[in-house]
Amino acid sequence: MALPRLFKQRDKKTPIDVKIQLDEWFGTRMGERVLNEERVLLDQVLPSLFGYHLLQAGVAVPHEWLNSSTVSHKFRVSPVKQECSEISQVRANLDALPIETDSVDVALLHHSLDFELDVHQILRETARVVMPGGTMVVVGFNPWSLWGVWRFLTLKFRRSPWSSRFVSPFKLSDWLNLLDFEVEGSETTLYFPPFMSESLLQRFSGVEQLANMWLRHFGAVYILVAKKRVSCVTPIRPRWRPKRPFVTVPVAQPQRKGKH
């Protein structure tokens, strides 16, 4: 007879499932607080980025967030159709972008790495479409934070955001360096535990300001800005010299001795 299982097998969730759960979680009170803090950071970064095309991918990014950007053409990439007519939409997977190489000036990945399975392929595809001198902006959950500790200490991995993949900004920096990107900087925010009530959050505001000064890399959410390097190698043209005219040099013939 079949014996009962000792350990329950966890349900394997697809990236679409995790993305939908993240969208729903960002509609909660805690999720809205996270979005407000992230928008403060993005409003300080986006106005300094210039170009013609801005790619935005991820979850829960209202189109008003991109108003601070001076980039003229903004479009969103998503595997599912989204109800938004304010900006252009491209329905595609991030691991296979139907976009020309070196054609995007700014790429904003808002928690995209937190629900995708193949993080390296997502970064490779995004790096491919960003033009030399362009910028990649990544927003994600920080495992080196109180939220990361809470994620490992609890069993709530089946619900977002705890079912998401927390990608370390330090690892992300190394991966982007291999993709010929130079990290310009990273900032974190939200230093309070994820289980605090509104009353406790108000009392924690003073402590959070001190944490921002002394624990600046250990906030719950980070934003990382990296610029794609421009190749400085210039082709050297060969110096063509005019061909020398072909000159025949007479060769002295040995004189024959006559008979005496």
The answer to whether residue 251 is domain-embedded is no
Inside any domain, residue 238? no
The C-alpha torsion from 21 through 23 and 25 to 28, rounded to 10°, is -150
- Between 10 and 174, the higher pLDDT residue: 174
Q: Which has more pLDDT, 152 or 247? A: 152
**What's the pLDDT tens digit per position in 186-210?**
999 888 878 766 666 666 665 656 5
29-38, 170-179, 206-215, 237-246: which is most confident: 170-179
Residue 260 has pLDDT above 60, yes or no: no
**Whether the predicted pLDDT of 152 surpasses 90:** no
The identity of residue 44, as a single letter, is Q
Euclidean distance between CA atoms 248 and 19, whole angstroms = 81
Q: Are 202 and 157 in contact (CB under 8 A)?
A: no
For the ranges 60-74, 142-156, 191-205, 221-235, which has the lowest average pLDDT?
Answer: 191-205
Structure tokens at 249: 């040099």
Residue 140 has pLDDT above 70, yes or no: yes
Per-residue pLDDT at 249 = 46
pLDDT at residue 3 greater than cutoff 60: yes
Domain with 95 in it: what CATH number?
A: 3.40.50.150
Say how many domains are in the chain.
1
> What is the residue type of 140?
G
Residue 192 located in a structural domain:
yes
**Residue 161, preceding peptide bond in cis (omega within 30° of 0):** yes
pLDDT at 203: 62
Task: Look at residue 5 and tell me if it is in a domain.
Answer: no
217 vs 11, more confident: 217
* Residue 88 falls inside a structural domain: yes
Asked whether residue 8 is assigned to any structural domain, the reply reads no
Full domain range(s) for residue 113: 15-228
Residue 47 phi/psi, 5-degree rounding, is -65, -20
**102 vs 255, residue with greater confidence:** 102
Question: What was the pLDDT predicted at 204?
Answer: 63
Q: What is the 3-state secondary structure (H, E, C) of the chain?
A: CCCCCCCCCCCCCCHHHHHHHHHHHCCCHHHHHHHHHHHHHHHHHHHHCCCCEEEEEECCCCHHHHHHCCCCEEEEEECCCCCCCCCEEEECCCCCCCCCCCCEEEEEEECCCCCCCCHHHHHHHHHHHEEEEEEEEEEEECCCCHHHHHHHHCCCCCCCCCCCCCCCHHHHHHHHHHCCEEEEEEEEECCCCCCCCHHHHHHHHHHHHHHHHHCCCCCCEEEEEEEECCCCCCCCCCCCCCCCCCCCCCCCCCCCCCCC
C-alpha 57 chain-centroid distance: 9
Q: How far is CA 231 from CA 10, 102, 126, 181, 228, in A?
A: 47, 13, 18, 11, 10
pLDDT of 142 above 90: yes
Residues 6+ apart with CB under 8 A from 103: 53, 129, 131
Q: Are strands 104-110 and 130-141 parallel, antiparallel or unpaired?
A: parallel
Asked whether residue 245 is domain-assigned, the answer is no
User: Does any domain span residue 237?
Assistant: no
Distance CA 176, CA 109 (A): 13
The rounded distance, in Å, linking the Cα atoms of 41 and 239 is: 53
247 has pLDDT over 50: no
